[in-house]
Amino acid sequence: MHDDEPETMLEQARRLVARKVSVIPTGGGLSLKAKQPHHQALKATGHFSLNREGQRRSSWKALQSRLPTLEELEVWYLQHRARGLGLVTGALSGYVAIDVDPEGLELVQALGWQPHVLTPSGGMHFYLRHPGWYVPSNASKNKAALPPGVDIRGDGGYCMAPPSRNRAGPYRRTAERRDLTIDQVPLTVRIAGAEYRLREALGLTPPGPAKRSHQTSSAAQMEEGGRVPVWLMLDRAESYAAVSRNRGAFMLGLWLHANGYAVEEAEACAGKYAERVCGVKVSPFTVGEAVTAIQSAYRYPRNQPWTRQDGAWASG
């Protein structure tokens, strides 16, 4: 019944790539790893990294910054017979997706949102245009910040795309073609007596001005070769970690970029940032994640550099 599934995925993948939307192959079908990247297909097209033992580990990081080629699509679906399709969210594709499980459908109904995709589990996907700033993925790792059953796939993420399926059934595209807008995402919602800052928790508020450091000693105000000191930007980026460590890394990248640091210098700061924030939450946070967020910041136009005001640095 589904013998031509890889060919169907290839056809849809071609359509998405033609629209400048990046994709990855997933297990799909009846596989227990239906929602996971198709590791063998990715490695066969050079998308892998080496671990300490020299073993190849599949990676789709490159597909967050460039579209797959037609040759890669054919290897994934015609040679390796991948049966699923992942839509890469973020700045490159121009979309983010709000992922709502059945637990969150009461909220969706109250807000009047119309879904773009119905998932096999009874949930929904809602597509929004990428807002132009870094939007973290898997925001529900911060369980206290988002309502139950609500998550987002932004920069560095992906969501399953129709006509993919898993053991529970297919992902189905609805007739809705209008993008959900940020204005339709309320600033706050109240559910079961708890208030959630929904728009901020989803990463759909623009980066705000940095808070000033309270350090006022002469040593604390010393520049590094006339530039804003890295430690000061690290301090300010660290203040974002309680909400999103990825967003803090992105902000660090924006500030380093604005203040004249080359991307190579910024990448070298990723380890320091990751070391500072790794213990903020139970879930791990790697140097690689920090590097990805910092690199993403450098793809945006450079902001105004910081200036000295009353002996302290203030963002531009």
pTM: 0.69
Residues 262 and 298 in one domain: yes
Helix (H) or strand (E) holding 270: helix 270-277
Over residues 104-127, the pLDDT tens digits come to: 999 999 999 999 999 999 999 999
**Number of domains making up the chain:** 3
Q: Compute the distance between CA of residue 12 and CA of residue 10 in angstroms, rounded to an integer.
A: 5
Residues 72, 118, single domain; the answer is no
* Residue 198 and residue 103 share a domain: yes
Of 42, 57, 86, at which residue does a domain stop? 86
Q: 133: domain range?
A: 89-158+169-205
Q: Does an H or E element contain 169, and which?
A: strand 169-170
Whether residue 38 is found in the same domain as residue 63: yes
Using the predicted structure, report yes or no on whether residue 215 has a pLDDT greater than 70: no
Q: Which of 70, 86, 102 is the last residue of a domain?
A: 86
| Residue 30 sits in the same domain as residue 133 | no
313, 263, 253, 46: CA torsion to nearest 10 = -170
- Same domain, residue pair 254 and 293: yes
Calculate what percentage of the chain has a pLDDT beyond 70: 90
In a domain, 164, yes or no: no
Strand order of the sheet with strand 150-153? 150-153, 95-100, 124-129, 117-118, 172-173
- 110 and 59 together in one domain: no
Instruction: Classify residue 214: in a domain, yes or no.
Output: no
Q: What is the pLDDT of residue 213?
A: 39
**Degrees to nearest 5, angle at CA 22 with 21 and 26:** 130
